[in-house]
Amino acid sequence: MADDDFSKQTKVLSDIELERLKIQDTRKVSEYKANTLEIEAKKNWDLFYKRNETRFFRDRHWTTREFQDLLNRAECTERVLFEIGCGVGNFIYPLIEEKLNFRIVACDLSPRAIEIVKNNSKYNPSCMHVFQADITTKHVFTQIEESSIDIATLIFVLSAIHPDKFLSTLKNIYKLLKPNGILLFRDYGLYDMAQLRFKAGHKIADNLYMRQDGTRCYYFSIEYLGHILKEIGFEIASNTYIHRRTINKKENIDVPRIFVQCKAIKPD
Ligand SMILES: C[S@@+](CC[C@H](N)C(=O)[O-])C[C@H]1O[C@@H](n2cnc3c(N)ncnc32)[C@H](O)[C@@H]1O
């Protein structure tokens, strides 16, 4: 199969994997618990960063390789990049190190994560605006003007938001982008090994799960992602599955991973 075909194909499940998905349906998260997780999303992410501080996510050094749009364009003066759900800055600080011509705007739901971003030795308030906000709400418009962003990045963030709020989130981002502005998206893909590993008692709804720590995770098909982006008005420049392996020789881990990567443009 050509690489291109592979990146558009949904993973074909083995009998064992199909059985695992069936077992997940035998005991779902109760409606009461699912509502509580939504109400407590901010608290749960804040506790996550209290426990893990900067130790959980590794700096993302692959971003300029995978998203060529992040690289300097000669004709360009300063561009404004908005990193949504910036966590402790694993995406933005490697970009700053590369000295690209960005003014960085970043937000996260967790006040503690924002505090950690601001305590980083590379934090520079003269070219960065970092604040706490829930991107599903209108709060973000008190901090950023409409049509002011050149590039918005959603890196493993929409999966943490309840699907009922995907459209409001994407609508907010659409409004913040300039005409011709770009949304760069990377997140967990349908039937990623982490999805297949959930035991009974963790599934909330189709492709939506609760982790042990109360944070949630949605697994995207490229069809569904393309559909919701188009519904908002975005044009899709690319939208594919990315197959990678997570390797940790020390812990003898070598597992296949599936991500979704997409570039969407707000038309002129
Ligand atoms: C998996 S982390 C990814 C962090 C970062 N983008 C990165 O690539 O390292 C998901 C982040 O999304 C944030 N988040 C979850 N829901 C959010 C919301 N409604 N608004 C803003 N940020 C949110 C969480 O607090 C968390 O920091």
Beta carbon of 45 within 6 Å of any ligand 1 atom: yes
Q: Residue 161 CA: which ligand 1 atom is closest?
A: 16
Q: Residue 135 CA: which ligand 1 atom is closest?
A: 20
CATH number at residue 7: 3.40.50.150
**Which range marks the domain in which residue 250 is found?**
3-265
Beta carbon of 59 within 6 Å of any ligand 1 atom: no
pLDDT at 55: 65
Beta carbon of 110 within 6 Å of any ligand 1 atom: yes
Give the count of domains, the chain: 1
Under DSSP, is residue 145 helix (H, G, I), strand (E, B) or coil? coil
- Which range (5-14, 49-58, 164-173, 202-211) has the least confidence? 49-58
- Which range (49-53, 89-93, 143-147) has the least confidence? 49-53
Q: Determine the distance separating the centroid of ligand 1 and the alpha carbon of 157, expressed in angstroms.
A: 5
Mean per-residue pLDDT for 112-132? Answer: 95
Measure Cα distances from 122 to 55, 128, 241 in Å.
Answer: 17, 10, 33
Residue 128 has phi, psi (to 5 degrees) of -135, 140
CB 169 within 8 A of CB 183: no
Q: Determine the distance separating the centroid of ligand 1 and the alpha carbon of 14, expressed in angstroms.
A: 32
d(CA 252, CA 141): 46
For the entire predicted model, the pTM comes to 0.93
